[in-house]
Structure 1
């Protein structure tokens, strides 16, 4: 599991860098608000991205994992991720993929 670097979006712009999705999943720091993921699927089949819900009893509700489908040859923005729901004891969210071949990801913060 790799810890994704956070790319901070600035008024002057950024040149985003994407990395390969890890077969064992990835982690992203939620130590600051407004963090989201951008997943690109270069494959011929759709994939699912799962962000694990660490606190599934939130404000009296049972909250499932966040599961997002990324279409074949598509991309998806996911977030912002809520630390109250998704952060583990290290203030990190766990991200898993149904497939990783030709899948790239980047984490952004506003």
Structure 2
């Protein structure tokens, strides 16, 4: 499991650095202006799951899932609801990691 760092997005723009998605999953910071950018360069769709550690009453809140189409990409907000109280970060897993790269971006 890799720990991803947020990259500041300045007003002048950014060419972000991407990391290969880790087969054991990744961890990322959470916050109101943070987003995970996932790029899928494979010929098959991939599902990204972000664990939601909270509960409402005694019921678990469903995890967030986003399907990234073949040769597609997606931005996923990393809101505080995804913050694991033990690590202080979001836990991210992937259905497969072949040709999947990720970056955490912090908006101005």
TM-score normalized with structure 2 length? 0.90
- Superposed CA offset, 1:46-78 (max 9, x none): 0100000011328x9853100000001111111
SS in 2 for 1:105: strand
The Cα offsets for residues 68-101 of structure 1, whole Å up to 9 and x where unpaired, read as 000011111111x221x21012320000000001
Residue 91 of structure 2 is matched in structure 1 by: 94
Q: Following the alignment from structure 1 to structure 2, what is the Cα–Cα distance between the partners of residues 57 and 94?
A: 19
Cα distance change, pair 106–9 in 1 and its aligned pair in 2 (3 A): same
Gaps of at least 5 residues in structure 1 are: none
Q: CA RMSD in A?
A: 1.7
The gaps in structure 2 that reach 5 residues or longer are none
Which residue of structure 2 aligns with residue 51 of structure 1?
50
SS, match of residue 37 in structure 1? strand
Give the drift of 1:11. Answer: 0.6
Deviating above 2 A after TM superposition, structure 1's stretches of 4 or more consecutive aligned residues are 60-63
2:64 counterpart of 1:71:
no
Structure 2 residue aligned with 1:108: 105
1-side partners of 2:9 and 2:19: how far apart? 17
| Count of aligned positions | 106
